[in-house]
Amino acid sequence: MVTLITEDFWDQGSFVATSLGMPDIPRVRLPHPIAGLGEEKIGLIAEEVIEDILDSFENV
């Protein structure tokens, strides 16, 4: 499992993960905002973070 969190919610993501007993859950930081960017821009962001996502599975 990996969580995708935008930079504006990074600290809240840490808080929630810790409060749920999963402080070490793999997380990948995304730019903020994501909503409303359109398919093309979201695709570009996905290309930028795909290696981080795949790497997080190797570290589990």
pLDDT reported for residue 59: 64
Q: Residue 7: what are its φ and ψ, rounded to 5°?
A: -60, -30
pLDDT > 90? residue 60 = no
Q: What is the pLDDT of residues 1-59, one digit of tens each?
A: 899 999 999 999 999 999 999 999 999 999 999 999 999 999 999 999 999 999 988 76
- In Å, how far are 5, 20, 21, 31, 40 from 49, measured between CA atoms? 11, 25, 26, 10, 15
Q: Which residues on neighbouring strands pair with residue 30, listed in sequence order?
A: 6
Triad 25, 4, 57: Cα angle to 5°: 50
Peptide linkage before 31 cis (omega within 30 of 0): no
pLDDT reported for residue 39: 96
Q: Residue 59: what are its φ and ψ, rounded to 5°?
A: -90, 5
Taking the whole predicted model, whether its pTM rises above 0.85 is answered as: no
